[in-house]
């Protein structure tokens, strides 16, 4: 049983969070802390100049609202939005906050990914805690 669980959340159309949520419910202690983490990738400077001034603020607020709604479905869960490169930022967050389990979804791989998605691969290879990959 795990006391601190991290579930990285991707909002890709084909991603389904029900699998990671079910696993978290089964593996969590009754008082476990569950963090739903979404990483907003940096937008290149040349692209951001074409977006409305409040785009990032509004997008981040919308993502936080969605994470909060998801977190309400799990006991002791909270949503968190951070910025950076997805794989590296998940690992940095885990290094600082010391979860004992990361439950990460992986998309159906193509030839370029071989077995896992690139973010899941990076987390599996470098995390210092248990990692459960869900397809």
Strands lying side by side in the sheet with 77-83: 77-83, 28-40, 2-8, 101-105, 130-134
- Tens digit of pLDDT for each residue in 33-60? 999 999 998 888 888 888 888 988 999 9
Q: Residue 37 burial (CB < 10 Å; 0-12/13-18/19+)?
A: buried
Strand partners, 102: 6, 131
Per-residue pLDDT, 110: 54
User: Which residue segment(s) compose the domain that 118 sits in?
Assistant: 2-134
Q: How far is CA 78 from the centre of its chain?
A: 12
Which residues, given as ranges, of the chain have pLDDT below 70? 14-15, 108-117
Per-residue pLDDT, 106: 84
- Number of structural domains the chain divides into: 1
What pLDDT, on the 0 to 100 scale, is given for residue 122? 94
pLDDT at 76: 96
CB atoms inside a 10 Å sphere around CB 24: 23
Indicate which CATH number applies to the domain containing 33: 3.40.50.620
pLDDT the model gives residue 108: 59
Provide the total of helices (H) and of strands (E) in the chain, helices listed first.
5, 5
In whole angstroms, give the CA distance from residue 95 to residue 104: 16
Determine the pLDDT at residue 113: 47
Torsion of CA 72, 78, 84, 90, to 10 degrees: -110
In three-state secondary structure terms, 70 is: helix
């Amino acid at each position: 049983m795990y006391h601190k669980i991290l579930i990285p959340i991707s909002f890709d159309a084909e991603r389904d969070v029900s699998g990671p949520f079910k696993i978290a419910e089964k593996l969590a202690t009754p008082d476990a802390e569950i963090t739903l983490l979404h990483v907003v990738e940096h937008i290149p400077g040349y692209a951001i100049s074409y977006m409305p001034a409040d785009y990032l603020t509004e997008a981040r607020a919308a993502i936080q609202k969605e994470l909060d709604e998801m977190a309400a479905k799990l006991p002791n869960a909270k949503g968190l939005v951070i910025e950076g490169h997805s794989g590296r930022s998940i690992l940095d967050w885990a290094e600082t906050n010391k979860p004992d389990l990361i439950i990460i979804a992986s998309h159906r791989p193509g030839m370029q990914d071989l077995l896992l998605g690139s973010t899941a691969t990076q987390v599996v290879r470098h995390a210092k805690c248990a990692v459960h990959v869900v397809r």
